Chains A and B, each alone.
Chain A
Amino acid sequence: MSIIEIKNLTKIYDGSGFEVKAVNGINLSFEKGEFAAIVGPSGSGKTTLLNMLGGLDHPTSGEVIVDGQNIWKLKSRKLTDFRLYNIGFVFQAYNLIPVLTAKENVEFIMHLQGRSKKERDSRTRELMQAVGLEERMNSRPSKLSGGQQQRVAVARALASKPKFILADEPTANLDSKSTETLLDIMEHLNKEEDITFIFSTHDARVVKKARRVITIEDGKVKSDEVR
């Protein structure tokens, strides 16, 4: 049974005197536990699709249905809550909160969810262990390497126990070794916690690991290959 359904999703940007169809009537669905990569050249609409899927960018038309609910019918506050409880985000530029330590960054989401300190502590420890950064829990992001920061970002994305994780070019700023480590961790967590991962990428190493590869060009799905 699919947890995400995308129906005829379209995003049109108004240029000066002309329209740009970033996403053009895409239909897709994702099953629980998928490890999928959305690939395509720059400007093909990958990030726009991911943003609409994550409730960040309003579609011009179409629906994003998660567990039977069209998320774009939700009011702004409800949508924010929806993201908090259902979606984990991993950004290309890590985007950790610089004034918080690695541990606090992971805890941050759970704090917003109102979870108890005990629960936060044990989940944070568990996730930091899973991403191999238990020793760096009290370091601020500025003291971590790019790869380490992205691993913290993955732990943060998982902290809320989301239904799915959206990762926008998560390896774009990482070296080969860090990319390999990160992908291994994500693959492991995908299997262990049965969490759906959807990547936008043009990194061949990510594509290689993905069990489903969706290719987008000019805002349309060109191919959808399940391995």
Chain B
Amino acid sequence: MNYSKIAWRNLWRNKKRSLITISSVFFGVLFSISLTSLQEGSFANMIDNIVNFYSGYIQIQDKEYMENNTINHSFVPPSFFLKKISENKTISNFSKRLQIFALASSGDESQGVMITGIEPEKENSLSGLSKWVIQGKFLEQGDKGILLGNLLAEKLNVEIGDSIIIIGPGYHGISSAGLFPVKGLLSFPMMELNKMAIYLELENCQQLFSADNRVTNIIINLPDYTHLERVKSELQMDVPDELTVLSWEEMNEEITQFIDGKRYSAVIFKGILFMIIGFGILGTVIMLIAERKRELGVMNALGMKKHRITSVLFLELLFTGLTGVLFSVAVTFPVILHFLKNPIPIGGEMGVAFQDMGFEPVIEFSGQGWVFYKPAITVFILTVIISIYIVYAIKRLKTVDALRT
């Protein structure tokens, strides 16, 4: 017969009370896991959208480009540096882009647009751009056609095979203009892109804006964000002085701050929740020690040292927490697994709002291990903190007084 056995049986002496305490842990952890999974899933989706559609995990830019997004801060990528990027085994793929804000017009209609010159094959493996083509065909190397967002096409009143005029500022102030046939229409989950995105083949774009061999960004993708800092510092060692290596967080400070803010408020919220649970457990512990004072005194009288009595009570407390945590994980795990495979689509105005902000209108969940084990660790820390009371109460226990109760 070991102490865990005594602790486990003690746990079920007062079934109602234990179940209430376990339930408080269960609901607390359930809520914490669900909230974290939902929040982290949404953040991951947000980051994924940003990383895949816009920025990649890492970008190489001219040092001035972040502050001043003009073609004058484009650069000619040094071949030795491109070689370094291709040789880096962690980098899954990379692609060059030339991005310029310009004006597109057709007939009487005109619209401000974001022109992106891309290397079709590389861009496609990086951002999966071709999957958003809903009409026409994706670009090929040396293609003279363009792809444009479906809402932009509607606005300009053009279809596949029609041509549009692009007018914009070229490199070093040269005025640029060109006529381009529409090769394909794109429909992104993000409304904003559908309203203003135009894609050209890179060389075609460089010619239009008189920016031979120049690019504004090199987009680099990684298998996942865990490699980000290492690859960034490896690239920083080789990057020419006039260029800079930026992570997606540095390029999207507002989003990073938004995510951090949401995470902090969630931490405060969960902190308050666990504090309430903690006080509930503490109340139970105070009550059970008071109820069992005589029994604890008997144990000590018979020769059980106080630290062993403390261990038995701590184990009982731990079992209470663990049971609640295990039930929570058992309930949340299959539910989250289901939603991982089947994200919840957001319809109506909320969905439109999501699209307007540039995000896919779905509620994603996160199934990362820490989503489950962090609340478990929190409960463990809670039990350790509460066990300070047990140590204190047992240390103060006077055997002879306990026997008289």
Q: What residues of chain A have their CB less than 8 Å away from a CB belonging to chain B? A: 51, 54, 56-57, 76-77, 80-81, 83-85, 89, 91, 95, 97-100, 104, 107-109, 111-113, 156, 160
* Cβ distance A107 to chain B, nearest Cβ, rounded Å: 6
Q: Mark B287-308, 1 if CB is under 8 A from A, else 0.
A: 0000000110011111111101
Q: State the CA gap A107–B1 with chains docked (Å).
A: 8
Docked pose: A98 CA to B296 CA in angstroms: 12
| A91 contacts across to B, CB distance below 8 A | 298, 403
Contact A160 B10 (CB under 8 A): no
Quick check: A80 and B1 within 8 Å, CB to CB? no
What are some 14 contacts across the A-B interface (CB < 8 A)? A51-B400, A77-B305, A80-B300, A80-B305, A83-B303, A84-B304, A89-B302, A95-B403, A97-B298, A98-B13, A98-B295, A112-B303, A112-B304, A112-B308
CB distance from B296 to the nearest CB of A (A): 10
Pick the residue among A95, A97, A98, A109 that contacts B303 (CB under 8 A). A109
Q: What per-residue 1/0 map shows which CB atoms of B32-58 lie under 8 Å from chain A?
A: 000000000000000000000000000
Nearest-neighbour CB distance to chain A for B285, whole angstroms, equals: 17
Chain A proximity of B170: nearest CB distance (Å): 85
Kindly list chain A residues whose C-beta atoms are within 8 Å of the C-beta of B303: 80-81, 83-85, 109, 112-113, 160
Closest Cβ–Cβ distance, residue B269 to chain A (whole Å): 38
Interface assignment of B6: CB less than 8 Å from any CB of chain A:
yes
**Size bracket, chain B contacts:** 20 to 34
Contact B6 A112 (CB under 8 A): no
User: A57, A99, A112, A156: which contacts B9 (Cβ < 8 A)?
Assistant: A99
A98 to B308, CA, bound (A): 18
C-alpha gap A113/B302 in the complex (Å): 11
Rounded to whole Å, the gap between the CB of B305 and the closest CB of chain A is 5
**Contacting pair B298 A111 (CB below 8 A):** no
Interchain CB contact under 8 A, B6 and A97: yes
A100 touches B1 (CB 8 A): yes
B399 within 8 A of A: yes
Contact of A104 among B1, B13, B301 (CB under 8 A): B1
Which of these, A54, A81, A160, contacts B301 with CB under 8 Å? A54
- B6 touches which of A76, A89, A99 (Cβ 8 Å): A99
A94, B9: Cα distance in complex, Å: 20
Bound complex: CA A208 to CA B139 (Å): 111
Chain B facing A: main interface SS: helix
Name the A residues within 8 Å of B2 (CB-CB): 111
Q: Which residues in chain B, 1-22, are within 8 Å of chain A measured between CB atoms? A: 1-2, 6, 9-10, 13
Q: Chain A nearest CB: distance from B392 CB in Å?
A: 16
Contacts A56-B399, A97-B6 supplied; 12 other A-B pairs, CB < 8 Å: A80-B303, A80-B305, A81-B303, A83-B301, A84-B303, A84-B304, A95-B298, A95-B403, A98-B295, A107-B1, A108-B1, A112-B302
CB A20 to nearest CB in B, in angstroms, measures: 15
List chain A residues, Cβ under 8 A from B300: 80
Fill in one digit per residue for B136-179: 1 if any A CB lies within 8 Å of its CB, else 0.
00000000000000000000000000000000000000000000
Give min CB distance, A179 to chain B, whole Å: 22
Are the CB atoms of A95 and B1 closer together than 8 Å? no
Query: Are A95 and B305 touching (Cβ within 8 A)?
Result: no
- A95 in contact with B400 given A89-B301, A100-B6, A104-B1 (CB within 8 Å): no
Among B295, B303, B306, which residue has the most Cβ atoms of chain A within 10 A? B303
How far, in angstroms, from A95 to B299 measured CA to CA in the complex?
A: 9
CB of A84 within 8 A of CB of B295, answer no
Counting from the closest, the 10 A-B pairs by CB-CB distance are A84-B303, A99-B9, A57-B400, A95-B298, A56-B400, A83-B303, A104-B1, A80-B305, A56-B399, A51-B400
Candidates B295, B305, B403; contact of A56 at CB < 8 Å: B403
- What residues of B have a CB within 8 angstroms of the CB of A99 in the complex? 6, 9-10, 13
State the CA gap A57–B401 with chains docked (Å).
9
Instruction: Closest B residue to A87 by CB, please name it.
Output: B303
- Residue contact A95 to B13, C-beta cutoff 8 Å: no
- A84→B400 contact, CB < 8 A: no
Indicate the member of B10, B306, B400 with the most A CB atoms within 10 Å: B400
B385 to chain A, nearest CB (A): 26
Tell me whether A56 and B10 are in contact (CB under 8 A).
Answer: no
Produce 1/0 per residue, B357-390, CB < 8 A to A.
0000000000000000000000000000000000
Contact status A109-B301, CB under 8 Å = no
Residues of chain B within 8 A of A156, CB atoms compared:
302
Q: What does the 1/0 interface line of B202-232 toward A look like (CB < 8 Å)?
A: 0000000000000000000000000000000
Residues on A with C-beta less than 8 A from B308 are 112
A98: which B residues are within 8 A, CB to CB?
13, 295
